[in-house]
Homo-oligomer: A and B are copies of this chain.
Amino acid sequence: QSNVTIYGRLNTSLESTKVQGSSRVTQLVNNNSRIGFRGNEDLGSGLAAIFQMESGFNSDAGGGTLAGRDTWVGLKGNLGTVKLGNITSPLYYATHDYISLHNHDTGNSSDMFLWVPAYDPENFRNRNSITYASPSFGGFVVEAHYSLVNEQGTETATRNDKPYHYSLTGTYDNGPLHVGFGFGETKKFYNFAGGDSKDNALILSALYDFKSVVVGGLWERNKSDNGGLEAQTGLTGSHTRNHYRVAVMVPFGANEVHLNYGVARDWSSTNDTGAKQLTLAYNYNLSKRTKVYALWTKVDNDKQKVSTDFGGAYDGGGAYSFLSGSAAGLDNTSFGVGLRHNF
């Protein structure tokens, strides 16, 4: 039917994964496969109705959640775009996503240190959200995101603590240059038990396409006041952290060579709580829609290993790990090959 476009992606990799001290595991990995339906209707005078309903599914093992990914309805016009629904924080798309050139923060090679406070911290997505994106002013776009409390897993039983989540971002796209920055904050908003929590992130990213090489980087400053950090690691009180990341892509013909390196510094007043992550990858584009790739990624946790963020396959034990149920503070490596097909 002309009203609806079906789109999606299957991205499945075969990887050999090892957590320090445990046996090596050979596994299939689903890298955020999804199917969606979207459409727009021209309403005249530059106005359009737009919608999207997107569902994630496991390309390796089956199963999924209907409308579990970004699902919204909105209006787009000369004054900007408004959307209502279950929406990923623009803080992610303005910064991290732009420099995640290899596999867009999916699977084991995703940025393990990114910390976008949100109700669903693994996906930086918030229920009951309203977003406004400005039109482009010569490449510059501002976006605001606010999430209502209802149906969120707020920490508090009463509605009197006024939990909230919001983020504000600005992006500039002009030819080879991209710059993005943003700030997001939550108060008593997470999907886990906790006290009087508040978390925020301030992120600045930039990317430049030199044609023979694409270089991007970001700086992120996180603060946790009895927030997600405490719930995850037991590190109480107020702490801040800096996170740096650089991404380099060398394209030639259908080939791409990728290098990503991220450093999470120690949380303030707490030694040995940082970590480093290195990813090397090679992509071969069989077409614009289909690629095969190889990847090698390693996370080098400091001995107290509390550098963990909300992203990726967080194992609930305080340390980022590629396998669930692992003990804390261990290094992780994974390598393998994958196939990604967009439709």
Contact = CB atoms under 8 A, between A and B. Distances in A.
A66 interface: yes
Query: Which secondary structure dominates chain A's binding surface?
Result: strand
B339 A286 contact: no
Contacts of A292: 75
A59 B72 contact: yes
Interface in A193-207: none
B73 A63 contact: no
Most chain B beta-carbon neighbours within 10 Å: one of A23, A128, A160 = A128
- Work out how many copies of this chain go into the complex: 3
Contacts of A339: 49, 73-75, 84
Most chain B beta-carbon neighbours within 10 Å: one of A26, A67, A341 = A67
Interface of A: 1, 3-8, 10-12, 14, 23, 25-28, 35, 37, 39, 41, 43, 47, 49, 51, 53, 55, 57-69, 71-75, 84-86, 125, 127-130, 148-151, 159-160, 286-287, 289-290, 292, 339, 341, 343
**A-B residue pairs, 9 tightest by C-beta:** A62-B86, A64-B66, A57-B67, A61-B127, A10-B73, A27-B150, A28-B128, A49-B290, A61-B151
